[in-house]
Amino acid sequence: MNHLRALLERRAAITAEMRSINDAAGDNDLSGDQAGRFDALRTELAQLETRIGRQSALEDAERRMQGQPYGGTGDRNLDRELRNFSLVRAIAGQAGIPGVDAARERELSQEIAQRAGRPFQGIAVPMSVFHQPVEQRVLTTTLPGGGPGSNLIQTDLAGGQFIDRLRNALVTRRLGARVLTGLMGNLDIPKLKASATTGWVNENTALTASDHQFEKVSMTPKHAGALTELSRNMLQQPSVDVENLVRGDFAAILAEAVDQAAINGSGTAPVPRGILNTAGIGSVAIGANGGPITWDAVVNLAAELDIDNVEGGAFLTNALVRRNAMRTVKVSGQPVYVMERPDQLAGYPAAVTNMVPSNLVKGSSGAVCSALIFGRWSDLILGYWSELDILVNPFETTAYAKGNVQVRAMLTMDVAVRYPQSFAAIQDLTTP
């Protein structure tokens, strides 16, 4: 029996039996029979893990072959139509550009608004416009006519294999931030405040009762918007490349707004509260007036998470800090630099975005300090309440004079740090 569910059930049964044997022995060593059975189960478990991996890969391939979607609305036909939604046609239709048929986009927009349960100021654009089908290119060594060559043949993969351009544009998402979509109303996310306690007692002495304590992180809808300008000639183009260009531009400008809020949002309405302004994150200071990056400071920053028993992590900073770290030696007189690779720092992944501020103030330094963040990014939550709301203003004075169209894009979302202990930052790095 090789169905994945059956294999997973068998793995659970093996694990439960191994736990039972171990618990039955208590503080004593396993008996001969117990040890033999335990070892046999462990061997079977190792073999089962290999079969699970193999079966999982097989079923994954079969789903793609059959075109089964991985996500979406649950309506396969609607998901297919939404992926074919043309952002260029939708904007052109709103702008009243002649010769552009945006009837399908208007119909899909009405369906999106109905499912969202709220009106849109402009046209509702599905977030799946940012999903790009994965391409597979097959390298052949001979041409059909028999001659030599290196012919690349494109093959589109069927089914749910898509690259999410908006999420990939987000640096915080690439580092592992958790994304919640399709939210409705305010959201409270529970988190553990304190665990039950254990302790040693004398014989016939009662244990002190204790309970888990929980608190919550709240997220409320906030609106991020961007204005951009498109030429009328561009909106009249039926080219797929133009469509992808426009989608990529919107993904980039929206990602910039979300990253900025997630990293350094003030928390003052209507801006979400970002990591650097979250109370309780770890902190490492360079000096009274700040100072350049040092190896000791980097090690101490990573240790802030270790102290709180937070495993894993990645660094995030701006280009100024990376440049300085790559030319600063760890120890004077040794040609070993604080940052040896542009994508790694102290053995951890490192990313760079200029959304990390470089105008922080420390003492008399002036607004010249930069930040370096270390964190377990899965404890950063990005929540989205709506699809993209696109509103066209073809009569904006400056754009109108040039024959262009002004477009406003609005996205409803919020940011939350689930556990402040999962992040630490240096906020007084000078970059001479």
Summarised one tens digit per residue, pLDDT across range 192-235 is 555 556 667 777 777 666 555 567 788 898 988 778 888 878 88
User: Where are any strands of DSSP class E within 260-333?
Assistant: 282-283, 314-317
Poorest-confidence range of 1-5, 84-88, 387-391?
A: 1-5
CA trace torsion 251, 257, 261, 265 (10° rounding): 180
pLDDT tops 60 at residue 335? yes
> Given this model, what pLDDT does residue 360 score?
96
Q: What mean pLDDT is predicted for residues 389-409?
A: 79
pLDDT tens, position by position, 304-323: 998 888 887 899 999 999 99
pLDDT tops 80 at residue 343? yes
> Given this model, what pLDDT does residue 288 score?
93
Pick 326 or 53 by higher pLDDT: 326
Q: How confident is the model at residue 64 (pLDDT cuts 50, 70, 90)?
A: very low
Percent of the chain, pLDDT > 90?
27
Q: How far is CA 113 from the centre of its chain?
A: 25
Pick 119 or 176 by higher pLDDT: 176
> Given this model, what pLDDT does residue 291 score?
95
pLDDT tops 50 at residue 156? no
pLDDT tops 60 at residue 101? yes
Which tokens is 222 given? 């906030």
DSSP codes of every residue in 95-163: HT-TT---HHHHHHHHHHHHHHTS--SSEEE-GGGGEEE-EEEEEEEE-TTS-EEEEEEEEEPPSS-EE
Which tokens is 382 given? 């990005």
Alpha helices in 154-204 (DSSP H): 165-169, 171-174
Considering only CA atoms, which of 132, 108, 112, 122 is closest in space to residue 409?
A: 122
> Given this model, what pLDDT does residue 57 score?
66
> Given this model, what pLDDT does residue 100 score?
85
pLDDT tens, position by position, 84-93: 888 888 888 8
Q: Both ends of the chain: CA-CA distance in Å?
A: 65
Sequence length of the chain is: 432
Q: What mean pLDDT is predicted for residues 110-127?
A: 80
Percent of the chain, pLDDT > 70?
80
pLDDT tens, position by position, 54-63: 776 676 555 4
Q: What mean pLDDT is predicted for residues 318-330?
A: 94
Residues 325-350 as b or e (16 or more Cβ within 10 Å = b): beeeebeeeeeeebbeeeeebbeebb
> Given this model, what pLDDT does residue 137 score?
40
> Given this model, what pLDDT does residue 379 score?
92
Radius of gyration of the chain from its Cα atoms, rounded to whole angstroms: 27
pTM: 0.66
Considering only CA atoms, which of 297, 232, 282 is closest in space to residue 92?
A: 232
> Given this model, what pLDDT does residue 278 score?
95
Alpha helices in 194-267 (DSSP H): 232-235, 240-264
